C-alpha cells in the first residue's frame, strides 16, 4: 500500500478520534459524565491537536506528499 494511502487512513482515524473526544466534551459539559472544567479544557486542547493533525495529514495525502515516513 502506498505511503500516501496510509497517511490518509491515519488522517481518517484522527478525525474519528476527534469526534469521540468532542462527544466526551459534550457529555462532561452537560453533566452526563463526571468531570470539571479542568477536564473540559484538557480535552478541548486534545481535540484541537487531533483535528489539526487530521487536517494536515489529509491535505498532504491529497497533495501526494509523504510526511509520516
Q: What is the dihedral of CA 55, 23, 49, 15, to 10 degrees?
A: -30
45: in domain: yes
pLDDT tens per residue across span 33-62: 999 999 999 999 999 999 999 999 999 999
Between residues 68 and 21, the one the model is more confident about: 21
Q: How many domains does the chain have?
A: 1
pTM of structure: 0.91
**Nearest of 1, 12, 21, 24 to residue 53 by alpha carbon:** 12
11: in domain: yes
Q: What is the pLDDT of residue 11?
A: 97
68: in domain: no
Residue 44 domain boundaries: 3-63
Helix (H, G, I), strand (E, B) or coil at 60: helix
Amino acid at each position: 500500500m502506498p505511503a500516501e494511502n496510509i497517511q490518509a487512513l491515519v488522517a481518517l482515524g484522527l478525525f474519528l478520534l476527534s469526534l469521540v473526544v468532542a462527544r466526551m466534551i459534550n457529555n462532561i459539559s452537560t453533566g452526563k459524565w463526571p468531570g470539571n472544567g479542568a477536564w473540559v479544557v484538557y480535552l478541548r486542547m486534545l481535540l484541537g491537536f487531533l483535528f489539526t493533525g487530521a487536517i494536515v495529514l489529509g491535505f498532504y495525502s491529497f497533495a501526494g506528499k509523504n510526511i509520516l515516513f
